[in-house]
Amino acid sequence: MSQVGRRLSLSVGIGLCLALTTSLSSALAADVDYKAAGAEATKILGDYLKIDTTVPPGNEKKGAEFLAEILKKNGIEAQIFDTAPGRACVYARLKGNGKKRGVVLLNHIDVVPANPADWKHPPFCGEVFDGELWGRGALDMKGMGIIELEAMLMIKKSGITLDRDIVFLGTPDEEVGGEFGAGWIKKNKPELVKDCEFLINEGFMIEADKDGKAKYWGVNFAEKSPLWLELTAKGQAGHASMPLPGSATNKLVKALQKLNDAGPNFKVLPPVEEYFKNVSTLEGGELKDIYATVADSVKDPAKVKLIMGDVLKSSMLYNTVSLTVLKAGYKTNVIPGEATAQLDCRILPGVTKDEVVSYVKKTIDDPTIEIGVIEWEQAEPSKLDTDLFNSIKKVAADEFPGMPVVPVLVPWFTDSHWFRELGLTAYGFEPVEVGPQHMATMHGVDERIPVKGIEDGVRRMYKILMDVGGAK
Ligand SMILES: [Zn+2]
């Protein structure tokens, strides 16, 4: 096992599989003009980035129509599904021979806001400067959407019928929860994807150093599940000149204090333990041993103090609870009859909603406080022993012999969870090297993607799909 876990600044690598040495089908390399495909994808992405799909309000229908038009021009029928005014999904399916179940290429059309005054070039310019294509969404995730689209067009052009259908799905609303995008599909049109086995989405890129050199290929196969709770305390209302010890506000404050004092309730999952072993070799001093034996370390209060110093790494070790919203009262001299608090809990794979709710109930120890669930999306991890994972490993080996392919568990969530809930094996994997200087531009300023990244991404995506699709 090598030290591929090093500096997973925004991720947790869990386990390591060395790339297989089996070579890809030789038919793949022959007669494919990857350079031309990369140039075509760059042109399409430039035009796509010019469409402002900032959410809110989104206006993603314009983006969906743009993508549908390109699919149609290339002989692939595309459908538009309206999910809200001005908002729509685009869906297309390239039929295979039906021997195996399909692969969904998922991407979101919406982007986060950008303030032009902060950018070096206008956020919706979609132009290349110094070998990089600029625009909001270049990385998150219009760039990946076009890499998926171009790979699909290449398969269509090749005339090869794969063993699997390839499904293209562009959705709105991801950046604000996905209810009018992926969530809408799950609720209203699950039949569009339910027959498929795999889904490829954003969620992890190839982590690179500042010179763009890949450290490893990370595949996001699991995410923590969000569980949002609302605690409501009720009590007698009254005039503030005569304090009421059992008031709603007092009860709520006491309950929240208990939750705060309880501290983390650790649960070290085997793959996370493995990750900590990997990163321990990069640490000096006490942390080296603490991480190497993390399952024991979490039982020692002194060591826990040090572990909690890293908010990202430590979040992998327990179900986190953050107090985010507090509401009570309307006037300084009135004791309110009700007080509420909202908690954002992020839950490890394998833990249920009921376990967390009973933990909160037991900890606050006040049966008069109601605990309501505002939001709960349970996302089970996807399997790793699959044809798609093997295809990614094969392509990694083909591109860089010896390149490690690392499964990762991440603390954030993407639209993948909607589809994992439908039973698909979903991987967050964008086959593009992203160094720290580009990573910082996602949801930040000056977002851009190297043109070489688009070319590499298209080639790798095509190879992966051809391989998992059984092309000979
Ligand atoms: Zn995104």
pLDDT per position as a tens digit, 210-224: 888 887 888 888 888
pLDDT at 469 over 90: yes
Side-chain-side CA neighbours of 466 within 13 Å: the count stands at 27
CA of 265 to the centre of ligand 1 (A): 30
CA of 64 to the centre of ligand 1 (A): 16
Domains and CATH numbers, the chain: 12-224+380-468 (3.40.630.10), 226-376 (3.30.70.360)
Q: Which residues surround ligand 1, an ion (CB under 5 A)?
A: 140-141, 202
CA of 293 to the centre of ligand 1 (A): 34
pLDDT per position as a tens digit, 47-100: 999 999 999 999 999 999 999 999 999 999 999 999 999 999 999 999 999 999
| pLDDT at residue 377, as a whole number | 80
CA of 20 to the centre of ligand 1 (A): 30
CA of 207 to the centre of ligand 1 (A): 16
CA of 144 to the centre of ligand 1 (A): 9
CA of 253 to the centre of ligand 1 (A): 37
Contact between 48 and 144 under an 8 Å Cβ cutoff? The reply is no
| pLDDT at residue 246, as a whole number | 94
CA of 141 to the centre of ligand 1 (A): 5
pLDDT per position as a tens digit, 95-152: 999 999 999 999 999 999 999 999 999 999 999 999 999 999 999 999 999 999 999 9
pLDDT per position as a tens digit, 362-404: 999 999 999 999 988 877 889 889 999 999 999 999 999 988 8
This prediction has a pTM of: 0.80
CA of 56 to the centre of ligand 1 (A): 14
| pLDDT at residue 374, as a whole number | 94
| pLDDT at residue 3, as a whole number | 25
CA of 111 to the centre of ligand 1 (A): 8
